[in-house]
Structure 1
């Protein structure tokens, strides 16, 4: 069986449409269909079936994907063993990361790695934690930087290794001159009558904030959704909204905004995630080590 065809089937099991698989693999939708058809010819049994606009796997397809998972894991283990014997930090490495980490400490880590390991070529892509974990599982990313608000670490049990990088405190953003601007800390309940702007680069983070409001008895009135920190800052700065954002995103918030700790003190943990056992690979080990060194130790603000 052809490896690329197995990978195509594996992607289809996760993404469920030919178009999504085509985007992930960088080929056309018709090429995806051809790869699946050729794989079905190789194994002699139908592997997929149409369901509306999507595609689901037959029992045979599901069984084959389980084998493919093990096959790819063994191949990656072999690559790691060879790389460990060579003890060379070189080659391509892909980091998938949430935007707040991408705009704070990861560039510094990449700069230092370029100095220490000039033959290591790193490509960073920003995406939500769930999308990043999917990319890791599909071998489209080698390391994912994500937080435990946006994804559940328990879902990775047995398939990935997690390296703790730092804790990131959550803060309330207020426009200058806001009625709560003199408060030392702010509780969510004090914000029930405000208009909110929320960063939706991670839909899970947005849902978590909204659910925290619901848990204390109110639905936040949201007048701004954006996947750009700058847009959220602009709405708050103009006095249109307030927001709750992590400290990593507040590097350049400007003097026209007031930043106050959320009470009770609320944190998220930031992790670097790699496939199980691949931290032995010298290039992955080097990047994990530098990420841990570059991550901020104290994100508290007065």
Structure 2
């Protein structure tokens, strides 16, 4: 059986629609449908049943996916074994990182890899944590940066290993002239009457902020839903809004806003995720080492305790 067809079926089991699989594998929906049909011809039994726009795996399909998981894992383990034997740090490693990492740790890590291993190329893709984790499972990236605020713990996978990188604290972001700007800390409920700008590039992250506000006893009045950091801080600089953001996202920012630690303290842990066993791959190990070095340079003592 063709391995690419098995991967398409595996993705279909996770994503439920041909269109979602097509997006994940960077092919057309008709190509996915054709791969599944060809796989059914090879298997000699129906592997899926259609339900409106979605599909559901038959019992035969579910059994074949279980085998596909093992087959794909064995193939990746074989690649890692061969790479480990060759001891060559070369080729390409794909890194998926969300914006605050992509703008702080990733550049330093990529520069170190380029200096230490000239034959190794790191290709960065900016992805939110859940998106990066999905890309890792689909073999579309090799290292995915994730955090414990936006990645659902139920999404834990025995085929994924995580390496701790650092903690990152959340801060209230205020206009320079705000009455709370000179404080050592701000409780969220002190911002109950303010207008909020939310970065909704990651739905999960904005949900975390909304949930924290609810826990503090209020429903935030949102006057801007923004698809990116730049618009949020522009609104805050203009005095239109306040917000809450991670410290790493603000580390390289030099604009006219004030950051004040939120209390009770809200932190997230940040990890580098790889497929199980691939830390033995010399090229992937080199990227993980470079990320760790970047943390030491950018985030002293592994924590963003202050800006």
Q: Same fold (TM over 0.5)?
A: yes
The aligned counterpart of 2:180 is 180
2:280 aligned with 1:301: no
In 2, the alpha carbon distance for the partners of 1:135 and 1:142 equals 8
The aligned counterpart of 1:37 is 37
The aligned counterpart of 1:254 is 254
The aligned counterpart of 2:118 is 118
The aligned counterpart of 1:28 is 28
Alignment of 1:39-78 (within 5 A): 39-78=39-78
The aligned counterpart of 1:218 is 218
Alignment of 1:64-103 (within 5 A): 64-103=64-103
Q: 1:152-201: CA deviations, max 9, x gaps?
A: 35632522211111111111100111121222210011011111111122
- C-alpha displacement at 1:20, in angstroms? 2.1
2:61 aligns to what SS in structure 1?
Answer: helix
Contact 2:17 2:53 in 1 (8 A): yes
The aligned counterpart of 1:229 is 229
- C-alpha displacement at 1:80, in angstroms? 0.6
Contact 2:120 2:283 in 1 (8 A): yes
Contact 1:48 1:56 in 2 (8 A): yes
- C-alpha displacement at 1:247, in angstroms? 0.6
The aligned counterpart of 1:240 is 240
In 1, the alpha carbon distance for the partners of 2:63 and 2:226 equals 40
2:141 aligned with 1:136: no
Could you tell me which runs of 5 or more consecutive residues in structure 2 were left unpaired when the two chains were aligned. none
Q: Larger deviation: 275-284 or 245-254? A: 245-254
How many pairs does the alignment contain? 302
Contact 1:158 1:276 in 2 (8 A): yes
- C-alpha displacement at 1:213, in angstroms? 1.1
Q: Larger deviation: 101-110 or 220-229? A: 220-229
The aligned counterpart of 1:167 is 167
Runs of 4 or more consecutive aligned structure 1 residues displaced over 4 Å after TM superposition? none
- C-alpha displacement at 1:202, in angstroms? 2.0
Per the normalisation by structure 2, the TM-score is 0.94
Contact 2:104 2:252 in 1 (8 A): no
- C-alpha displacement at 1:225, in angstroms? 1.6
Going from structure 1 to structure 2, the CA distance change for 1:294 and 1:153 (only over 3 Å counts) comes to farther
Could you tell me which runs of 5 or more consecutive residues in structure 1 were left unpaired when the two chains were aligned. none
